[in-house]
Chain A
Amino acid sequence: MVVWTDQERAAISTIMGGLNYDVDGPKALSRCLIVYPWTQRYFGAFGNLYNAEAIKNNPRIAEHGTKILHGLDRALKNMDNIKETYTELSTLHSEKLHVDPDNFKLLADCLTIVIAAKMGTSFGPDIQASWQKFLSVVVSALGRQYH
């Protein structure tokens, strides 16, 4: 079981509490699709992804980005049970969506960059470390039901 210190819990809550899911979710997802264009393979039915501007203005991508952060919220609310919390989502991503689990890390890194740009120097090294630990637990849980 993952052990969280009080400082880690506080850092993670603060970050999640400061996020605007409707803004930062879309930012993270569109950044991922721009910086790692091969991730667009999963969004063929989402319309115009022709260039960075198109991706950033795509309403379906925005909607999906918001959905993703609400999904992350589940981990925040169940920090002592993240593995079980994501069993269903993991199975979905594996069996229905066929997403390569390596991609989860790419999206996680883009979310971290969005947060760093937003928070500036208050996203210090210790906070970053706690946040990345949280994301790596989530990423691992999402990859668990791949067989």
Chain B
Amino acid sequence: MLSKKEKELLENEWEQLTPVAEYIGADALLRMFTTFPGSKTYFSHLDISPGSDHLFIHGKKIVQAIVEGAQNISSLTETLAPLQTLHAYVLRIDPSNFKNFSHCMLVALAVHMGEDFTEVLHAAMDKYLSAFAAVLAEKYR
């Protein structure tokens, strides 16, 4: 459960990350594809080689959704409703990949923020990304 303090922290942090959304997003995706090669199977339609435009475009999309969710964490289900439908009926990505992606997002954040990625921020981020993933998968069945 996220405390009020954590929600504020997350809203601020994600807003500050908006200018580097495509870099963080692309980095997280590339890390996931490298460490969990099974995740690549969902991207045969894109060029996901390091440095590719597709990686930046897609990474940006994902981070923007995460930023939007963070602006009102209490209404996550409402905010993510269209993405829930997309993932459940069209993309049908196995939810285990959400966990793997979240982990790689945390690594990308640690790389980007160094010492500023404190234990408290890490805990809040991990909780938020888990909640985000759970909401995303809600319409699956």
Say whether A and B bind each other. Answer: yes
CB-contact partner of A117 in B35, B110, B120, under 8 A: B110
B57 contacts the other chain (Cβ, under 8 Å)? no
A34/B35 in contact, CB under 8 A: no
A126 contacts the other chain (Cβ, under 8 Å)? yes
A116/B35 in contact, CB under 8 A: no
A123–B113 alpha-carbon span in the complex (Å): 13
A31–B119 alpha-carbon span in the complex (Å): 6
B34/A128 in contact, CB under 8 A: yes
Could you tell me how many residues of chain B have their Cβ less than 8 Å away from some Cβ of chain A?
21
Q: Which residue of B lies closest to A125 (CB)?
A: B34
Which residues of A does B touch, CB under 8 Å? 30-31, 34-35, 52, 56, 109, 112-114, 116-121, 123, 125-126, 128-129, 132
Least distance between B70 CB and chain A CB atoms (Å): 18
Q: How many A-B residue pairs have CB under 8 A?
A: 55
User: Cβ of B34: which chain A residues have Cβ within 8 Å of it?
Assistant: 125-126, 128-129
Q: Which residue of A lies closest to B114 (CB)?
A: A117
User: Cβ of B122: which chain A residues have Cβ within 8 Å of it?
Assistant: 31, 34-35, 113
B134 contacts the other chain (Cβ, under 8 Å)? no
A117–B27 alpha-carbon span in the complex (Å): 14
User: Cβ of B114: which chain A residues have Cβ within 8 Å of it?
Assistant: 117-118, 120
